[in-house]
Every structure is written in structure tokens, then in C-alpha cells.
Amino acid sequence: MDTPDLRPLSIGEILDRAIAVFIRHAGVFLLALALIAIPPAIIEVILVPHGISGPFAELQQIFTHSNDPVLMQQILKKTQAEQAPAFLGSFLIYLGFLWELTAASVIAVDLFNGTAPSLRRALQRGLARYLPAVVVSLGYGVMAGAALIGLGIALIPVFLLVALLSALTPVLGVIVGIFFALVFIAALVFFGSIASLSWTIAIVAVATEEGNPIRAIGSGLRRTFARSLLVRSFLVGLAIYLVRFGGSLLGLGIGALLVVFTKVDSLVIVPATVMSLVITGVVIAFVARYTLDLRIRREGLAGAPVVPMDAPA
């Protein structure tokens, strides 16, 4: 294994090392992720055999037979009956996704420590840190919910102002409304990108540091929302979001083409799953090295591995 590179790096250098590490060790990354991701993906195919074609077909029927209330009622009942299995399949995939993140974090940190990665250790340690990762995710979910509630309360005066201006001067009301809508969208993108990065950093921390979910949440918040890091966190978080979103669209697009040419609806999940595994591996490798860079710069970490990986899980 290479000697650990424990010096501050630029974002470009971090990305370069993350991609190089993932490509060089793609086998262990993808095998660990696939062992976790494939079972819930198979369950989802069983629960929702029509994949993405089912909802589109039902929408087409709704538009085609909009004048037939009896048939519309039947279509709506069928759609409602399929919602529960679809939700269950998605929920199982998300539960497995947390284990994917913890296992990939162990592999990435091992590699950046200069230690040969172990598939067995990654799966075992990732599973041992699974419940703390769930607590971390719930914690971020609660904070996100509280932030949205606070934002909704703060928007009440804005709505009242726009309504008043619209009543007095409709054109001015529209202009002010558009302005505040753009500000709202920008705020969502800004804080959403940072919050997503913060959550991912906290997951890496809970998987590879001491395993305390409360301290991991604190580390995630401190390593992203510090005043001097806000702009950097936004740019990094936005880039990660765009990679995830773009990769998901690409996987779904390839899956849709497979369905068109093969007429097998369940094949849509194959490229989507493969793309998800690749993106997860690259993103976790990047965030693991990015976290190490933050620790070197801000927490005095130097000349030592990121975490004692031989410590008990």
C-alpha cells in the first residue's frame, strides 16, 4: 500500500486522489456495495415488477380515458394499491444504502491510511456502525424538519406582503413574488447542498471514528457550517449533489432504453443500481479524503492515520 498522504490538499487534488483510489480498488468497493445493494434491489423488482413503465402507463390511461369516471376510479384504485409495495421497496433500498455508506467509508479510510482494505472487515464494521448511522440520519432529518418549519413561519410575512402588493399593484406584486421565490430557491439550494455534505461527513465519521452518533453529528456540523467553510462547503456539496443527480438520471435513462429494446420492465433497475454503486464509491472516497483534509487543517491531525481502524467496532 501507498504511504498515507497527510498534508493539506486542494479540492482538485482531493478529487484526483478519490477517483484514483476508487479506480485502483474498484473491485473491493463495488463488491462490498453490491453485496449490500443487490438483495433489496431484487425485493423491489419483485414488489414493483413494472418498474418505471407502470406509472407512465397509468398516466397515459388517465389522460386517454379522462371522460370515463368508472375507468378513472379503477385506475386510481390500482395506483393506490401499488403505492405501498413501491414505498416498501424504496424504504428497503434506503436502509441498505446506509450500510453501503458505512462499509464504503471503512474501505476508503483504510486506503487513505495506507492499509490494505478488507471486504470482511468493511462489511462487519459497517454493519456494527449501522444503527449509529441510522441515529445520525434521524438527527439530520429532525434538524431538516425543524428548519423547514422555521422557514415556513418566516415566509408568512412574505406571503402577506406579496398579497398586499398584488392587491394594490398587481405588477409590483408579481415582481416581488418572483424575487422572493428566487431567493427561496437559492436558499434551499445553498443550505440543502451544505446539509447533504454535512450528513455525509457525519456518516463517514460515525463509521470510521469512535461511533458515537451525537458526536458524529457535531463533527458533521462543525466541519461544514463553520463560518470560514460555508462557501467551500456549498461548492463541494453542490458538486456532490450534481454528480449524484446526474448519475441517477443517466442510470434511469440507460434503464429506460433497455426496457424499450428488450420489453422487460424489471431491467430498468440494473443500470440504475450499477450507477448508484459507482457514484456511492466515488462520493464516499472523496468525502473521506475531504474530511481528512479538514481534520489536518482545522483539528491538528498530522502524521497519524485518520482513525485507529484496528480498534473495536
pLDDT at 148: 86
Does residue 65 fall inside a structural domain?
yes
Only one residue has cell 388517465, namely 62
Count of structural domains within the chain:
1
pLDDT top residue among 183 and 202: 202
Domain that holds residue 55: 11-298
Supply angle C-alpha 214, 223, 308, rounded to 5: 65
pLDDT in tens, 222-279: 999 988 888 889 999 999 988 888 888 888 788 778 777 877 766 777 888 889 899 9
pLDDT at 266: 66
Does residue 177 fall inside a structural domain?
yes
pLDDT at 304: 45
pLDDT at 257: 83
Does residue 46 fall inside a structural domain?
yes
Q: Are 140 and 197 in contact (CB under 8 A)?
A: no
pLDDT top residue among 100 and 59: 100
Does residue 312 fall inside a structural domain?
no
pLDDT at 207: 94
What beta strand segments (E) does 187-261 contain?
A: none
pLDDT at 247: 87
For residue 88, what is its C-alpha cell? 416498501
pLDDT at 21: 92
pLDDT top residue among 198 and 185: 198
Does residue 183 fall inside a structural domain?
yes
For residue 297, what is its C-alpha cell? 487543517
- Whether residue 189 is predicted with pLDDT greater than 60 in this model: the reply is yes
Does residue 310 fall inside a structural domain?
no
Instruction: Give dist(CA 111, CA 22) in Å, integer.
Output: 10
- Whether residue 53 is predicted with pLDDT greater than 70 in this model: the reply is no
Does residue 5 fall inside a structural domain?
no
| Average confidence (pLDDT) over 90-96 | 75
Only one residue has cell 422557514, namely 151
Q: Give pairs for 80-86: CB < 8 Å, separation 24+.
A: 82/48, 82/54, 85/47, 85/48, 86/47, 86/48
Termini Cα distance of the chain:
23
pLDDT in tens, 112-168: 888 888 899 999 999 999 999 999 999 999 999 998 898 888 888 888 888 888 888
The distance between the two most distant Cα atoms of the chain, rounded to a whole number of Å, is 72
Does residue 308 fall inside a structural domain?
no
